[in-house]
Amino acid sequence: MGRFFAWLKALFNRLMNRLEDPDMMLDQARRDMQTALQENKEKAVQAITQRNNLQAMVDDHTKKVTQLEQQAVMALRQGNRDLARQFLREKANYATTLESLKASLSQANETVEVVKRAIRRQEEEVRKRTAEALAMKAQYKQAQIESSLNKALEGFTTEQQFGAFENAAERIREAKSEAAARQEMMANSIQGKILQMEDTAMDYAAEEELKQLEQRLGLSADTGPATVSQTAQTDDVESQLDELEKRLNQGQNPT
């Protein structure tokens, strides 16, 4: 039940947001103005119709008054005074009604002119408001486009693209640092010293082979300094060997 009411609330909020949408509000306002203008035009048509009816009645009564007067004249010429008197009485009634109709017609004409001016002003206002509504809708569309562009720019980032390169570079730096650390530890360990001794022995063998090659080629030179260097290297190897034997003996005979 709670989910159902939550759904109804979300639906209601969505409908309210749509109703409060500026685009829809402007369209509704324009339709309301057009409807009001059409209703006022219809009222103006009714007023003009009533004015035209009054005008027709005035014309009919004017003709009737003229006709009755002519009939009274004819009756007098024929010597029929009673009939002439009757025509004149009827003419007087029509004349009285005619004066009332003329007053109503004059007022109706003024009312129609006022209504026409009001309709023209309302039409001008509707055209003005319609143009303003179109401009406002264009501004609203422009604002929506700008908002969409701003949101797109906010989401535009290169961190994910270049972050992988930075992570890889960091891992490479860590691997190199770890390799250097292991190499440093290896240099201080017994295995490292053994490898160093092997490198020294290989250098000594290479030096001896080089001397033999120089002797065969007749390129042998003074070997004094080289002999001293070789003797120093041999002493270094011997000292390292003695140190290794001491460590091994200590490991076998703990105190």
Output the pLDDT for position 224: 47
Average pLDDT for 111-130: 91
Q: What single letter denotes the amino acid at residue 130? A: T
Output the pLDDT for position 176: 77
How many residues make up the chain in this entry? Answer: 255
| pLDDT tens column, 238-247 | 777 777 777 7
Is 18 a residue whose pLDDT tops 70?
no
- Distance (Å, whole) CA 47 – CA 39: 12
pLDDT-based confidence at 120, cuts 50/70/90? Answer: very high
Nearest to 55 by CA among 107, 111, 99, 105: 105
Of residues 120 and 238, more confidently modeled:
120
pLDDT-based confidence at 193, cuts 50/70/90? Answer: low
Highest mean pLDDT among 165-174, 203-212, 231-240 belongs to 203-212
Is 231 a residue whose pLDDT tops 70?
no
Output the pLDDT for position 223: 47
Q: Domain residues of the chain, as ranges?
A: 10-154, 184-252
216-247 b/e (C-beta count within 10 Å ≥ 16 → b)? eeeeeeeeeeeeeebeeeeeeeeeeeeeeeee
- Distance (Å, whole) CA 133 – CA 28: 10
Average pLDDT over the chain, rounded to whole? 78
Output the pLDDT for position 138: 83
Is 226 a residue whose pLDDT tops 60?
no
Of residues 42 and 169, more confidently modeled:
42
Average pLDDT for 211-239: 65
Lowest mean pLDDT among 75-79, 169-173, 189-193: 189-193
Lowest mean pLDDT among 97-106, 152-161, 173-182: 152-161
Please state the separation of Cα 153 from the chain's center in Å. Answer: 11
Lowest mean pLDDT among 76-80, 120-124, 161-165: 161-165
pLDDT-based confidence at 58, cuts 50/70/90? Answer: very high
